[in-house]
Structure 1
């Protein structure tokens, strides 16, 4: 495996796994009061654009890592939007 593939896979792994503690905490507690809605809207949008970029450039580490992050951040965003409506 080439160095750039190793770096890409490791970076995707670290950034994706870094989201797990927040996602688990939010899913368990369903508490998003301390989370910024504008930040999560921008973050989820940015992750979606990274997925598009990865697809356009056939970069599997970018695609896979960001799909997982998109799902986790999307769950948190859904909880936040639900709290805002309440």
Structure 2
């Protein structure tokens, strides 16, 4: 199995595993169980992985983190908009 095939397989699985939670959050707008601190750090980490992938030309890393960053930013924005009264 080639390195890129392993990378794209890993990228698909980790990104796809994130989609059900993102979908549920978009659908319900319930962000009460989401920690603002954790999601802020997670989103920044994904953005840094994207920059890292771009610097290496590692397309599995770039593709996966582009999609995950879009989802994470969307959830983070919803947390800021709808979850101000909850700590975390």
What is the TM-score with the length of structure 1 in the denominator?
0.93
Q: Which residue of 2 aligns with 1:19?
A: 18
Q: Which residue of 1 aligns with 2:64?
A: 65
The whole-number CA distance in structure 2 between the counterparts of 1:35 and 1:51 is 23
The whole-number CA distance in structure 2 between the counterparts of 1:85 and 1:20 is 24
Q: Which residue of 1 aligns with 2:75?
A: 76
What is the TM-score with the length of structure 2 in the denominator?
0.91
Unaligned segments of structure 1, at least 5 residues: none
Unaligned segments of structure 2, at least 5 residues: none
Is contact 1:19-1:73 (8 Å) kept? Answer: no
Q: Deviations over 1:12-69 (max 9, x none)?
A: 1011101100110000000100111111000000000000000100000000100000
Is contact 2:50-2:65 (8 Å) kept? Answer: yes
The whole-number CA distance in structure 1 between the counterparts of 2:30 and 2:82 is 8
Query: Number of paired residues?
Result: 85
Give the 4+ runs in structure 1 shifted more than 6 A. Answer: none
